[in-house]
Amino acid sequence: EAGVTQSPTHLIKTRGQQATLRCSPISGHTSVYWYQQALGLGLQFLLWYDEGEERNRGNFPPRFSGRQFPNYSSELNVNALELEDSALYLCASSLGRRNTIYFGEGSWLTVV
């Protein structure tokens, strides 16, 4: 069974541009989470989607947004990119609430 898959693996963007990252959860999982992991820092919670709805949001500006599609896949959009947005963006999924979260391998975003 496939795990959480993310694309692209690496992405290089220029400051001010927009980035779109994609995630496919484990089959059957309805909850999708996005985390940012900047170099040397812990995992910072970005967004949680469940059944197509945004359920919770971390302490990030509105230029970080996303959505969850009917097939439970998700995308994360980052607008007006800033240099400090350079990080590993991790997607995770779980079988509904309060269940173990399983992570993908992440998408490396570099803003130059």
Partner 1 sequence: GESVGLHLPTLSVQEGDNSIINCAYSNSASDYFIWYKQESGKGPQFIIDIRSNMDKRQGQRVTVLLNKTVKHLSLQIAATQPGDSAVYFCAENSGGYQKVTFGIGTKLQVIP
**Which region, judged by CB under 8 A, interacts with partner 1, from 18-26, 28-36, 65-73, 78-86?**
28-36
Using CB under 8 A as the binding rule, the residues of this chain from 44 to 73 that contact partner 1 are 45, 48, 50, 55-56
- Give dist(CA 78, CA 86) in Å, integer: 11
Q: At residue 84, what are phi and psi to the nearest 5 degrees?
A: -75, 0
CA distances from 32 to 10, 21, 81 (A): 20, 13, 23
Count of other CB atoms within 10 angstroms of residue 95:
15
Q: Does 105 bind partner 1 (CB under 8 A)?
A: yes
The answer to whether 26 touches 3, Cβ cutoff 8 Å, is yes
Indicate the residue among 38 and 80 with the shorter CB distance to partner 1: 38
**Which region, judged by CB under 8 A, interacts with partner 1, from 17-25, 61-69, 70-78, 99-107?**
99-107
Binding site for partner 1 (CB under 8 A): 4, 31, 33, 35, 40-43, 45, 48, 50, 55-56, 90, 94, 97-98, 100-106
